[in-house]
Amino acid sequence: MHLEEMAISKSRVHWTLVFSALVLATIATFAFPVLASFGFVVALTILFGVVFPAWTLFLYTASLFLFQVPLFASLPVAIPTAAGLLFIAVAFLHRLIMRSCLRLRSILPSLLVMLAIVFLFAALTQPEWTASHPRGIGTYLALCTSAIAVGLVMQRGQTAWVVVKIFVGGTNVISAIAIYETWTGHYNPLGLFEGRDERAYGLADPNYTAALLVTLIPLLVALFLCGRSLITRAWAALSIALVCLTIAMTASRGGVLGMILTGCATFALVSSKQRRRQFGSNIVETNRRFSTGRLSVFAALLVGLAVAAWLAPTVVWDRFSSSDNWTDPRKEARLRIWADYLGQVRESPWWGHGPGYVEEKEELYHNTLLQVLFECGVVGFIAFAVVNGAAFAETVRARKRFAQQGRHELAVLSGATAASLIGFHSTAFFLTSATHKELWFLIGFAASLHHLSLGKQNPEVACKDQT
């Protein structure tokens, strides 16, 4: 009887809590209908994402093209930030609820945790700044977590290729908007973000638009090489030409230089040579169409550059004609900014001035490495460099393993990810981009590819519930 009474008592408490929650939800709905509706949509999205986490990954991927577009006009939170927080919550809730394996066969999750600790310690050494501006450290911690979440969710080659196609579709939208704006002179017609109006924007500042497109060029080339149909390969080839033209239309000198450097990296890394490998009694031979991979890459990039040179506006050539000013601190603003910040680094060399710090006189660093050095000191700079170096090394190793295993499409994709990392940093040298989400997305992408590359070689350590 005592056990029955306890069970009845627990049941009453349970139903009382449920009834109270329903009453509070009803009151909140009538008192704050907009907020309640938004919360209801978020709750449904989280529930759907926990069941189908890959779809939340796709949503986050698409949101990266809106990185300067706010979620609401009155709320200073960009759409990718909201999508990223939702994705992080869904990724880890899925793993906990489904009791899935949290292990990635990659060193990157451990390095990202180490980097997050370094960022946190750098913030603690500047308590006054961190207390008044907590968003800086919060952003860095969320980015490290988002990279791990990408690696956890994207553990199938099919999922990775869907992500690539979303990137290609996103570049098409950005290219169409930027080309329209340049040819009509109607910049940012919907007023989606704050900015000037004398050059093409797409959905962001022209320099950052160009930087994002430069970063994604290798992935477009990968789809061009590995498309399963003629339509897919033609779509990728057209997208490469449009991206090259859009970068030229932004008149971003860093974007054009980054495009050339990234093109060279793509030519070197995004291909798969024809090989014969012995695995026990089986001989694996690379598909013949990959033996001409580098020639195809060269042709695609050459056509894209030719289209860009033919249709580029004259402002591009005008900006490059002032190249004699680039090394003159009196004429080139970036040189003055770099000299100023390098001088201030000495004030707090080891742990920096605090994550997210913005100096009052100059709001932009215009150099990502200098940004990390200034905000998080030498220790943070080294940790940041180690994570990026490890991501590049793991993609190169994954490329080699996939080629040896005969998984040639993933070998091409791994090489493209390595080239994309080079593309990001080639433009980031001229921009303040340490918190740009595409970098951390690529780091998570690198971890997932490395994890996949060990699947055939070490099946005994694979998680039983790969998603």
Give the mean pLDDT of 169-188: 86
Buried/exposed 367-399: b ≥16 CB within 10 Å, e otherwise:
bbbbbbbbbbbebbbebbeebbebbbebbbbbb
Q: Does any domain span residue 56?
A: no
Please list the residues that pair with 279 across neighbouring strands.
282
Q: Does any domain span residue 232?
A: yes
Q: How large is the greatest C-alpha to C-alpha distance in the chain, in angstroms?
A: 92
Q: What is the pLDDT of residue 285?
A: 45
Q: What is the pLDDT of residue 286?
A: 43
Give the mean pLDDT of 16-25: 57
Q: Is 70 left (phi over 0), alpha (psi -120 to 50) or beta?
A: beta
Give the mean pLDDT of 335-358: 80
Backbone CA torsion sign across 410, 411, 414, 416? negative
Candidates 34, 419, 459, 154; CA nearest to 263 is 419
pLDDT tens by residue, 192-210: 777 655 666 777 888 889 9
Q: Does any domain span residue 8?
A: no
Q: Does any domain span residue 220?
A: yes
Q: Does any domain span residue 290?
A: yes
Q: Which domain holds residue 202?
A: 108-461
Total domains present in the chain: 1
Q: What is the pLDDT of residue 99?
A: 67
pLDDT band at 38 (very low <50, low <70, confident <90, very high): low
Q: Does any domain span residue 5?
A: no
Query: Between these two residues, 180 and 385, which has the higher pLDDT value?
Result: 385
pTM: predicted TM-score of the whole model, two decimal places: 0.83
Structure tokens that stand for 149 in this block: 């979440």
Q: Does any domain span residue 409?
A: yes
Coil, strand or helix at 280: coil
Please check the confidence at residue 460 and state whether its pLDDT lies above 50.
no
pLDDT band at 211 (very low <50, low <70, confident <90, very high): very high
Calculate the average pLDDT of the chain. 79
Please check the confidence at residue 43 and state whether its pLDDT lies above 80.
no
- In the chain, the percentage of residues whose pLDDT exceeds 70 is 72
Query: Considering only 314-318, 395-399, 409-413, which range has the smallest mean pLDDT?
Result: 314-318
Q: What is the pLDDT of residue 147?
A: 96
Give the mean pLDDT of 281-301: 56
Q: Does any domain span residue 168?
A: yes
Query: What's the CA gap between 281 and 16, in Å, rounded?
Result: 67
Query: CB of 164 within 8 A of CB of 223?
Result: yes
